[in-house]
Structure 1
Amino acid sequence: MNSVGLLRTLVGFDTTSRESNLQLIEFVRDYLAGFDVPCELIYNAERSKANLFASIGPAEQPGIVLSGHTDVVPVDGQPWTVAPFELSEHDGKLFGRGTADMKGYIACVLALVPALVAAELRMPVHIALSYDEEVGCLGVRSLLAELEQRPVKPLLCIIGEPTELKPVLGHKGKLAMRCDVHGHPCHSAYAPLGVNAIEYAAELIGELGRIGQQLKAPEHHDARFDPPYSTVQTGVISGGKALNIVPADCRFDFEIRALPSQDPTQVAQQLQAYAEQQVLPRMRAVSEHSAIRFSELSAYPGLATDAQSQAAELIAAFCGSREYGTVAFGTEGGLFDAAGIPTVVCGPGSMDQGHKPDEFVSRAQLDACDAMLQRMLASIRA
């Protein structure tokens, strides 16, 4: 089966992060079994989702990991003009949820399997598929925990997120946080007797914005990124019951997208210190039961692979380009790198189409990805 045929099958599985990915994983397991390639499934605690890891070639040698996530973002509320979980084609574009992000890459990897099996390889090729990347790079962590225990570490991991097949060596890290503000309710006619959780939450959000402005200072810039500085933003807020009740509770979620050289926890700690030193005392002056609580929702590290590294040299050879880039969005690459596996990001399609209605990848991009993987195969033949 070629890449387009495999993509058609993969798109047909609704692997939105809130759903199970097991149908897709079991399809891949059976597909690999057809070529006598065994694989391991690493399940979540509920056994409703699984990572997959398979190896082809001499296991005692350091090899190359071809890695992709199987989950996709929701289509709810988006104005699709085609069926999102059926592959359709128009003007050389292949439409469907996940075609760009990132089932197109997975399809190309699977299409390479027959050639990998038939070749005599001097190093192994590993196929790694994960779950729940879109909700915080959650699933891949258990897969990496397994790999870290093995005596031979891979030489390179290629994360196939859509980069239009341009080699990417860096991306920002992310820390997502929640802040719960608990005040004291009362009738709005006596507002000074209450502790308005929404107003104090708004003060914290304002301070977060000021911290964000500090991060824009030129001395914090890294020109390789767009934008060239770490960013913060509040994305969700809720609170209050009625206009005539001083609200007792307010909750907001915020995120820090940090340059690889910067620690996003410092932003969270700065906001928490402001809350404890400047805001909470004023709240407790009215009600001693007032509270501000911070909790982590998700986090993953940034990626900063050295342009002079062997990993960079390899991906340049496979892509035919040394024009290394960076991306603002995150990937599982930072986690692979933290596990001691040098990592680059390179895959078909563009994130300009990812997460949007009528998502697509072009046939030309799939063909180019197939060619890149063939060049990789040629370079590792015995």
Structure 2
Amino acid sequence: MTVQALDDTKALLRDLIAFPTVSTDSNLAMIEFLADRLETAGARVDIHRDATGQKANLFATLGPEGDGGIVLSGHSDVVPVADQDWSSDPFKMVERDGRLYGRGTCDMKGFIAAAVALAPHFAARATRRPLHFAFTYDEETGCLGAQALAGVLKAQGIRPAVAIIGEPTSMRIIEGHKGCYEYTTHFTGLEGHGSGPDRGVNAVEYAVRYVARLLDLKEQLKARTPASSRFEPSWTTINTGALVGGVAHNVIPGKARVDWEMRPVQHSDADFVKRELHTYCTHTLLPAMRAVSPDADIVTEVIGEVDGLIPADENEAKAIVMELTGANGADTVPFGTEAGIFQALGMSAVVCGPGSIEQAHKPDEYLALDQLADCLGMLERLTAKLG
């Protein structure tokens, strides 16, 4: 890794941090900026917008057409900075004490900057095997962009063999992580005066009973832990993120919602939880609600169901990255990424990128310069696999 490569990457990262690509907002300006950089390097670039036209994925290729390529993947969106106590403008990168500060430096624009800065280097060497860049929208809100991109790749018959997802792992190789299934369950009751609770359907109270069932299932899942699980914690988890409802002390609330998630270690656990909740709502909660109001209802909205990354005995991605980094093994993590989506397309996949997950989503998020240098070194050595 040369000093020039590091300087070029830092300059590019500064540009990327300046795009405030919070998931609630458009990422188009950043995607168009990256597209221009990659096209200048000789890449064939496709931009795929979502239904709103305000979000887009980028998929670009250097080297020959055909199957068997290597994908470098990253998400363009970042989490909000509202109500966080930053010591500097989060969208102006600041270098201080060997660290680069700014929203998205480690999660995960640092990896994107390293990959794109080396695009001319890749272009000169990718003669035998394609190198792809996959930059997505809305990873932080359910991996929506990656799921859309997976559909495009499948429809177009594009079949890469290897995916390296550059989430912040401190350059450790991650070969497995849990899935992330997110839901919002909506309760419709019947409003009324608080002095006559039996004449209404208290949506908040039924939401509380639903949460109590989630807590019961949360404990049952511990007994379903697979003997081979390498995760920490080793079982499928459930988290209740929010319970919202009601308007006043003396009004029976007619609306409520519960935001919750589970992180399955195996598909059967997700099926178990959904089956148990369906039975509880159908045979216990809804009959009691509808005995008072026939229009009462419980509806669960799927925010996102993203499969985990399953450790595989045969994993070309792991073998390649172990060779590039000198690592002699791979780990698992509890947090989710887009890797399972690429794995479901038939690719071998690992997660490996600069920076620590401990810095992600926090005020004064930073990426250590030595981590960025290590990432550049890994990617520069990747060129030997392309020619």
Shorter chain as denominator, the TM-score bin is: over 0.9
The TM-score normalised by the length of structure 2 is 0.94
Secondary structure (helix, strand or coil) at the match of 2:359 reads coil
| 2:331 corresponds to 1:328 | no
Find the aligned partners of 2:358 and 2:240 in 1 and give their Cα distance.
Answer: 22
Where in structure 2 are there 5+ consecutive unaligned residues?
A: 1-6
Q: 1:61 to 1:242 in 2, by over 3 A?
A: closer
Match of 1:161 among 156, 160, 167: 167
Report the equivalent of 1:269.
275
Q: 1:355 to 1:262 in 2, by over 3 A?
A: farther
Amino acid at match of 1:146: V
| 2:90 corresponds to 1:80 | no
Secondary structure (helix, strand or coil) at the match of 1:2 reads helix
Find the aligned partners of 2:266 and 2:225 in 1 and give their Cα distance.
Answer: 15
Report the equivalent of 1:196.
202
Asked whether the 8 Å contact 2:207–2:243 carries over to 1, the reply is no
Give the drift of 1:333. 0.9
Q: What's the Cα RMSD here?
A: 1.7
Where in structure 1 are there 5+ consecutive unaligned residues?
A: none
Give the drift of 1:222. 5.1
Give the drift of 1:120. 5.1
| 2:43 corresponds to 1:33 | no
Report the equivalent of 1:112.
118
Secondary structure (helix, strand or coil) at the match of 1:292 reads strand
Find the aligned partners of 1:219 and 1:51 in 2 and give their Cα distance.
Answer: 36
Find the aligned partners of 2:88 and 2:278 in 1 and give their Cα distance.
Answer: 46
Matches within 5 A, 1:113-152: 113-119=119-125, 121-151=127-157
Amino acid at match of 1:291: D
Report the equivalent of 1:216.
222
Match of 2:102 among 78, 86, 96: 96
- Quick check: 113-122 or 23-32, which moved more? 113-122
Report the equivalent of 2:179.
173
Query: What's the CA shift string for 1:52-93, capped at 9, x where partnerless?
Result: 111111222511000101010100101111110011011101
Q: 1:188 to 1:137 in 2, by over 3 A?
A: same
Give the drift of 1:5. 1.1
Amino acid at match of 2:215: G
Asked whether the 8 Å contact 1:272–1:294 carries over to 2, the reply is no
Secondary structure (helix, strand or coil) at the match of 1:297 reads strand
Asked whether the 8 Å contact 1:69–1:132 carries over to 2, the reply is yes
Asked whether the 8 Å contact 2:64–2:126 carries over to 1, the reply is no
Asked whether the 8 Å contact 1:40–1:54 carries over to 2, the reply is yes
Secondary structure (helix, strand or coil) at the match of 2:195 reads helix
Secondary structure (helix, strand or coil) at the match of 1:235 reads strand
| 2:344 corresponds to 1:351 | no
The TM-score normalised by the length of structure 1 is 0.95
Report the equivalent of 2:9.
3
Give the drift of 1:159. 0.6
Amino acid at match of 1:244: N
- Quick check: 86-95 or 58-67, which moved more? 58-67
Give the drift of 1:183. 2.0
Find the aligned partners of 1:26 and 1:313 in 2 and give their Cα distance.
Answer: 33
Secondary structure (helix, strand or coil) at the match of 2:196 reads helix
Q: 1:287 to 1:117 in 2, by over 3 A?
A: closer
Amino acid at match of 2:342: F
Asked whether the 8 Å contact 2:164–2:317 carries over to 1, the reply is no
Asked whether the 8 Å contact 2:161–2:346 carries over to 1, the reply is no
Find the aligned partners of 1:120 and 1:310 in 2 and give their Cα distance.
Answer: 18
Q: 1:47 to 1:190 in 2, by over 3 A?
A: closer
Find the aligned partners of 1:219 and 1:119 in 2 and give their Cα distance.
Answer: 46
- Quick check: 76-85 or 313-322, which moved more? 313-322
Q: 1:111 to 1:44 in 2, by over 3 A?
A: same
Query: What's the CA shift string for 1:115-155, capped at 9, x where partnerless?
Result: 11222532111111111111111112232222223445212
Secondary structure (helix, strand or coil) at the match of 2:217 reads helix
Find the aligned partners of 1:176 and 1:293 in 2 and give their Cα distance.
Answer: 14
Find the aligned partners of 1:45 and 1:107 in 2 and give their Cα distance.
Answer: 27
Q: 1:239 to 1:379 in 2, by over 3 A?
A: same
Q: 1:343 to 1:79 in 2, by over 3 A?
A: same
Find the aligned partners of 1:186 and 1:33 in 2 and give their Cα distance.
Answer: 62
Secondary structure (helix, strand or coil) at the match of 2:84 reads coil
Amino acid at match of 2:303: L
Give the drift of 1:166. 0.7
Asked whether the 8 Å contact 1:305–1:344 carries over to 2, the reply is no
Match of 1:251 among 243, 246, 257: 257
Query: What's the CA shift string for 1:164-199, capped at 9, x where partnerless?
Result: 111111111121112122222222222233222111
Asked whether the 8 Å contact 2:355–2:371 carries over to 1, the reply is yes
Amino acid at match of 2:173: P
Give the drift of 1:272. 2.1
